[in-house]
Amino acid sequence: MKNFVMTMLVIGLLAGSASAAIVTLDLVADPGGTGTWGVYASVSLGDNEGLAIFDLDVVGSGGLTVDSSVNESPKGTAQIDFSQFFPYGFSELRSDGTAGLGVSAGQPTIYQGANDPQKDSLVLQGVGQTAGSYTPVPPLGHAGPAASWGAPVLLASGTYSGLGTLSASAGAASWGVLASGSAWSGPGNVELAQEVIGDQEIIPEPATMLILLGGVLAGLIRRR
């Protein structure tokens, strides 16, 4: 049901428009120690203003199992007036996924009525293209810590166990980017990414495996 809603959010309301944007995933094994993983995304330049919506799957095979996943995409909460608090960044339909499957979120690009600069300010631009940070500056300042992100942007992290292959790829729902212009403005105005290029890691790496085998062989030779 979640994937259906995510897809309709992009396709149904945006008439299925597509850009030439390419999203490239970078899967990093053991960034926080053995048994951890992280997935970063880079978005091509020139025809879009950065990532708008994503749905990511991280899976294991050949004896490796993904045990947990956390959504790391940038988000926060802005205080618009005395009584209204609005989420910004990747806050819509946000999910940590289940053991790597369905890590997803979208930015608040769709809203009712005509263009509203205040609501547009809740959408982070350039995500996946340049490093940045965002501190809301509505009338009463901001609520919560500022959001920051690197380039490429970290979308998810988690843990795994066992040895085998760890893979990252697009999930069942579509990926979208902010439509091109000098700056993005809404509502809507999101296009489908043309392609999402996945990545994988073999654990342990072949070079590491050769070192381990070399050590085992050396031990056997010494015993003789």
Q: How far apart are alpha carbons 16 and 206 in whole angstroms?
A: 42
CB 37 within 8 A of CB 30: yes
Asked if pLDDT for residue 212 goes beyond 50, the answer is no
- Least confident among 54-63, 114-123, 132-141: 132-141
Give the residue-averaged pLDDT of 191-203: 97
pLDDT of 12 reads 43
**Residues contacting residue 111 through CB under 8 Å, at least 6 positions apart:** 119, 186, 187
Q: How far apart are alpha carbons 11 and 191 in whole angstroms?
A: 8
pLDDT of 164 reads 98
- Grouping H, G, I as helix, E, B as strand and the rest as coil, residue 11 is helix
Give the residue-averaged pLDDT of 188-216: 75
Report whether the peptide linkage leading into residue 31 is cis, meaning its omega lies within 30 degrees of zero.
no
| Residue type, position 171, single letter | G
Q: How far is CA 9 from CA 22, 94, 187, 191, in A?
A: 20, 13, 12, 11
pLDDT in tens, 146-174: 899 999 999 999 999 999 999 999 999 99
